[in-house]
Amino acid sequence: MNSMTGFASRESVVEGLGKVSFEIRSTNHKFLETVLHLPAGFLSLEDKVKKQIEGSVKRGRVVCVMNILGAPANDIFVDRRLLKKYTVTLKEIQKEARIKEGVTLDTLIHLPGVLSLAEEKRAKSRVWPQLNKLLIRALEDLAAMREKEGRALYVYFMKSARSLQESLSAVTARFRKAVKSRMAELGTPEERSGFLKSSDITEEIERLAFHAKNFKEKLSNRGAIGKELDFIAQEMQREANTMGAKSFDAAVSAMVVQMKSQIEKIREQLQNIE
C-alpha cells in the first residue's frame, strides 16, 4: 500500500550542464496527472521525463521541477526567411494603405516566430542518460516516502476495520435483544410480521460484516488499490445508512451513528491511497 503524498529532491553535477536538481512532489488525485517544469531549451526531453515518472507512479498529481544552476545561456535563433516574408508583407500593406510610418526593428522582432531560443537537441540527447539516472534516484526516494506513509495508513486502516467489526458485533447483540423484547409486546402474527419487515436489519448486518472482512483482506494487496478500497468503504457506508434508517431501538441507532462516523473517517484517509 502506497500513499499518494510525498516529496523527493536530488541534485548532481552533470557534465556539460553543471549542477542539476530534480524536485518531485506528489499529492492525492483521482487519476495520474503529471506536471513538468523544465528549463528553457529542454522541451525535447519532456516526453522522456514524463514516461519515466509514469513508469514509477500509478496515481496522484505529480509535479516535477528541474533546475540548472549556472546553466550556459541559449543561443538566439532568428528565422530569417520568416522575417523577410514579414517585411515584404508589411511594406505591401504600408503602400496599399498609404501609411507613412516605416517598418521598425522593434515591430519585426515581436512578430510570432521571428526570435526564439535555439534548442541544441544533440546536446540534450547526450546529457539525457545522466539526467535520467538523477531522475530515477529522485523517483526512488519519492517511492520510498510514499511507501513509508502507506505503511502508517495500513496500520490505521487495519485498526479502524477491527474497531468497526467490534462495533458491528455490539450492534448485532443489542439488535437481537431489542427484537426479542419488542416481539414479546406484539399480540398478533400480523403485527410481528409487519414489524420484522420494516425493522429487521439482519441482512444489512451480514453485508456490512462481509464488506469489513473484504476491506481487511484487500489492504494487503499490492499495486494501486485506493479506488477499490474506497468502493468497498462506500458499500459499508450504504449498509450503515440503511441500518440507521430502519432501526427502531435508540441504543442501536446510537451505535450505528458511531459506525457511520468510523466509516467516514476511513473514507477520508482513503483519499490519500494510490
In a domain, 1, yes or no: no
Q: For the chain, list residues with pLDDT below 70.
A: 70-76, 116-123
Same domain for 187 and 241, yes or no, is: yes
Same domain for 195 and 258, yes or no, is: yes
Task: Tell me what pLDDT residue 122 has.
Answer: 47
Same domain for 95 and 133, yes or no, is: no
Same domain for 131 and 247, yes or no, is: no
Residue 54's φ and ψ, nearest 5 degrees, are -65, -20
Task: Tell me what pLDDT residue 71 has.
Answer: 56
CATH number at residue 253: 1.20.140
How many domains are contained in the chain?
Answer: 3
Residue 167 is part of which domain span?
151-270
Same domain for 266 and 172, yes or no, is: yes
In a domain, 66, yes or no: yes
Query: pTM of the entire structure?
Result: 0.71
Same domain for 209 and 222, yes or no, is: yes
Same domain for 186 and 263, yes or no, is: yes
In a domain, 155, yes or no: yes
Same domain for 13 and 129, yes or no, is: yes
